[in-house]
A = this chain, B = another copy of it.
Amino acid sequence: MARIVMKFGGTSVADLDRIRSVAARAKRAREAGDQVAVVVSAMAGVTNQLAGWCQALSPLHDAREYDAVVATGEQVTAGLLAIALQEMGVESRSWQGWQVPIRTDGQHGKARIEAIEAAELIRRMELGHIPVVTGFQGIGPDHRVTTLGRGGSDTSAVALAAAVRADRCDIYTDVDGVYTTDPRIVAKARKLAKIAYEEMLELASAGAKVLHTRSVALAMKQRVRVQVLSSFEDLPGTLVVDEDEIVEKQLVSGIAYSRDEAKITIRRVPDRPGIAAAIFGPLAAKGVNVDMIVQNLGADGTTDLTFTVGKADLPRAQAALAEVCPGIGCKEISTDDEVAKISVVGVGMRSHAGVANTMFRTLAEKGINIQVISTSEIKVSVLIAAEYTELAVRALHTAYGLDAA
């Protein structure tokens, strides 16, 4: 017997038939002897519609009202799922964020969970009931509904799993697990049985879209075992667990790519102390996240600075730099949004040298120029021209021995 929190995303509860399937799946788990609670998203498309209405009425709308409006999406699904479970003879009730309560801070639209009062949910799970909890939302210190922002429902599920001391948090989605890379690009991509939190975290922030960074970080912090699996099949998915649980460590577990980056190069900046702060300070002030940074010292006492930002942030970054540049005497700014970031990730890197070198050699053999390099303890990322994305990912997948037999 295990205690499990199951989370179903928008496509898994997109209509009444799918809601019935979700109910049947939760019921089967309970009948197999598990204690079950379910976290649900809004039906596919609903959150976007509600958010679009808020936006149409006022582009700079009050985040507190936005939260009150969009949080209704999950409330509808939770109630409907409880009804579907009851219809199958299962004791169930829905819990809205404020009812549990799931307490968050007061940052409306991107609130963070602070505490979940789970005693009543645990009591009911122990009785064999299946509580259904709304994802993506909570109640703030102002006694108003808050939403958690992007990746919110996954985060709700992981936080709830921690609060009820669940053995596992199953995230049901429209893919059946975490792959060595995107199967749409590499036909020989393999589904991983297990992956370490830190690898998943690096893959998620490097562009793999299966789980949001935030929920992985929370799972790692709270040591919640997370399983990613398909709501449309009945197969085991991928377990995201502590590194110690993975006996057979791969040198490289996965290859991620992201085309959501843009490169900015500032040439011939005077090379003096404080110049980096003078450039990156104003970018941070405008909420622009800078990812990879490279600085090259030139011969004439100037330096070239290259860095990447999210593609959507490019206009804001350019505006900020246009203000800054005259003051610091930089000569030339160029931008390129036809770039891609390719990352190889694996905890095995910690103990093995040569991972980065394999990457550089493989790309060189295919004639792919590396524009920027950045590394972490378990990741190597390079920026290349976007047109080489698929070629690079396939070549690396083969080079690291990840291809399925």
Q: Does A16 contact B (CB under 8 A)?
A: yes
Q: Find chain B residues with CB under 8 A from A69 CB.
A: 75-76, 79-80, 83
| A22-B143 Cα distance, complex, nearest whole Å | 27
Interface residues of A in 75-92 (CB under 8 A from B): 75-76, 78-80, 82-84, 86-87
Chain B proximity of A56: nearest CB distance (Å): 6
In the complex, A64 has a CB within 8 A of chain B: yes
CA distance A93 to B61 in the complex (A): 12
- B57 & A80 in contact (Cβ 8 Å cutoff): yes
Q: Which of A72, A79, A99, A143 has the most CB of B within 10 A?
A: A79
Interface centre among A53, A65, A82 (most CB of B within 10 A): A65
How far is A86 from B84 in the complex, measured between Cα atoms in Å?
39
Shortest distance in angstroms between A94's beta carbon and chain B's nearest beta carbon?
5
Q: Quote the shortest CB–CB distance from A38 to chain B (angstroms).
A: 14
A190 at the interface (CB under 8 A from B): no
Residue of A57, A84, A96 most packed against chain B (CB within 10 A)? A57
Q: Does A290 contact B (CB under 8 A)?
A: no
Do A58 and B76 form a contact, CB below 8 Å, given A93-B65, A94-B65?
no
Partner of A76, one of B19, B50, B94: B50
A12 smallest CB distance to B (angstroms) = 16
Contacts A/B (CB < 8 Å), 24 sampled:
A16-B56, A19-B57, A50-B76, A54-B79, A54-B80, A57-B84, A58-B83, A58-B86, A62-B93, A65-B86, A65-B93, A65-B94, A66-B79, A66-B83, A68-B75, A68-B78, A68-B82, A68-B96, A69-B76, A69-B79, A69-B80, A72-B76, A99-B143, A99-B144
